[in-house]
């Protein structure tokens, strides 16, 4: 799931009567144009000029903070957002922006506090509800996340992205009917939303409606031929149906688009394993683990590859590593049995 975070910036570009203030606002206007054109560095320079001419403009600090955040300079962004708040203590936009950057640097508790302050100042501030809801989801507080996203939809009932995000929470909570309802609503509002087709396809696959899943993955690919997750998911369906050839074609395409997708390497490696192409399988599973050494299923499959190659010690090591990562897994009993079998065969 892509993480989508909103950060609103309202620059109040009002010309004042005095010439100096007018010049400062002129720089702010140019900064806003630079930001709109994706030139954050020029925006910073223009905001610098505006602040030099009039250091009392909270929106200049707010704008510069956002430009710094775009450049990845989160420390300076927070300095500017705090200065905007010092000059305009009741500015919900500044608190929302500050919360977003705190979240980016891992200060989740303070980010929640900042989003909450933004909402206190403006109880109809949908962006702050949205951001806080996504953060609550990340923290595992699903009830609070659903409440916040529900408030977004209460205020903006045609918000397709919020339905999409809420569907993911329902899926994680094991509520497929609610998730499907939200995904259907997403696609009613945004019929070209590729992520929604992919998510709905995954939900259909989860509920055993494989043809509907296949159609959704294919539609996602038709809309966005460079969208790797849809190829990966459609490849899984092909392999599950015994069509390894087409499954490998889709896995290859997923990897060609995103060479850092560990799950694609796991699935392609597993398909190679089923074809008894052990060297190819091992290479893919090695790469999956190199990309994500916590991807537990990769160890099971690599362990099986090693076992097929007669490398018993390596096989047992990988299977034991799986159990360390997933001690309560439904596969744990089978993995333990496989380890016992290998040990018995190679005392």
CATH code where residue 25 lies: 1.25.40.10
Tell me the two tokens of residue 237: 């369906």
In a domain, 23, yes or no: yes
Contact at 8 Å (CB) between 63 and 28? yes
Contact at 8 Å (CB) between 148 and 129? yes
* Number of structural domains in the chain: 1
Mean pLDDT for the stretch of residues 76-93: 97
Query: Which of 259, 258, 267 lies closest to 295 in space, CA to CA?
Result: 267
The SS3 call for residue 242 is: coil
In a domain, 39, yes or no: yes
Would you state the pLDDT for residue 128? Answer: 98
What pTM, to 2 d.p., does this model score? 0.87
In a domain, 81, yes or no: yes
The SS3 call for residue 22 is: helix
Mean pLDDT for the stretch of residues 79-92: 97
In a domain, 73, yes or no: yes
Q: 315-331: b or e for each residue (b if 16 or more CB lie within 10 Å)?
A: bbebbebbbebbeeeee
The SS3 call for residue 263 is: helix
In a domain, 69, yes or no: yes
Would you state the pLDDT for residue 18? Answer: 38
The half-sphere exposure of 32 on its side-chain side, counting CA atoms within 13 A, is: 15
> 5 is in which domain, residue-wise?
1-9+17-122
pLDDT of residue 26 exceeding 60: yes
Q: What is the DSSP letter of 15?
A: P
Q: Over the stretch 232-256, which tens digit does the pLDDT of each residue have?
A: 999 999 999 999 999 999 999 999 9
In a domain, 1, yes or no: yes
Q: 84-121: b or e for each residue (b if 16 or more CB lie within 10 Å)?
A: bbebbeebbbbbbbbbbbbbeeeeeeebbbbbebbbeb
The dihedral built from the CA positions of residue 44, 98, 131 and 73, taken in this order, carries a sign that is positive
Query: Which of 103, 102, 20, 24 lies closest to 58 in space, CA to CA?
Result: 24
Mean pLDDT for the stretch of residues 319-326: 96
In a domain, 98, yes or no: yes
- Distance from C-alpha of 125 to C-alpha of 148, rounded to nearest angstrom: 11
In a domain, 54, yes or no: yes
Rounded percentage of the chain residues whose pLDDT exceeds 90: 92
């Amino acid at each position: 799931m892509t993480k989508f975070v909103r950060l609103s910036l309202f620059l109040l570009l009002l010309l004042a009567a005095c010439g100096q203030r007018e010049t400062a606002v002129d720089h702010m206007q140019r900064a806003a144009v630079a930001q709109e054109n994706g030139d954050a560095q020029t925006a910073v320079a223009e905001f610098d000029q505006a602040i030099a001419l009039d250091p009392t403009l909270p929106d200049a600090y707010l704008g510069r903070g956002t430009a710094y955040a775009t450049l990845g300079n989160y420390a300076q962004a927070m300095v500017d957002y705090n200065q905007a708040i010092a000059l305009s203590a009741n500015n919900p936009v500044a608190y929302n922006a500050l919360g977003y950057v705190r979240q980016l640097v891992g200060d989740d508790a303070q980010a929640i506090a900042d989003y909450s302050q933004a909402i206190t100042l403006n109880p109809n501030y949908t962006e702050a509800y949205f951001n806080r809801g996504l953060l609550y989801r990340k923290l595992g507080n699903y009830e609070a996340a659903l409440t916040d996203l529900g408030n977004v939809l209460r205020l903006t009932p045609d918000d397709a992205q919020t339905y999409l995000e809420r569907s993911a929470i329902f899926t994680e909570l094991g509520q497929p009917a609610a998730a499907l309802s939200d995904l259907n609503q997403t696609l009613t509002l945004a019929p070209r939303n590729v992520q929604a087709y992919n998510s709905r396809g995954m939900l259909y696959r989860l509920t055993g409606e494989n043809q509907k899943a296949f159609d959704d993955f294919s539609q996602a690919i038709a809309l966005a031929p460079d969208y790797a997750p849809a190829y990966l998911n459609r490849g899984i369906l092909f392999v599950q149906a015994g069509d390894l050839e087409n499954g490998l074609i889709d896995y290859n395409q997923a990897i060609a688009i995103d060479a850092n997708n560990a799950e694609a390497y796991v699935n392609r490696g597993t398909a190679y394993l089923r074809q008894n192409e052990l060297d190819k399988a091992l290479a893919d599973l090695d790469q999956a683990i190199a990309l994500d050494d916590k991807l537990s299923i990769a160890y099971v499959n690599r362990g099986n590859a090693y076992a097929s190659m007669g490398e018993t010690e390596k096989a047992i090591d990988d299977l034991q590593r799986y159990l360390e990562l997933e001690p309560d897994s439904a596969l744990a009993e089978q993995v333990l049995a496989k380890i016992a079998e290998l040990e018995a065969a190679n005392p």
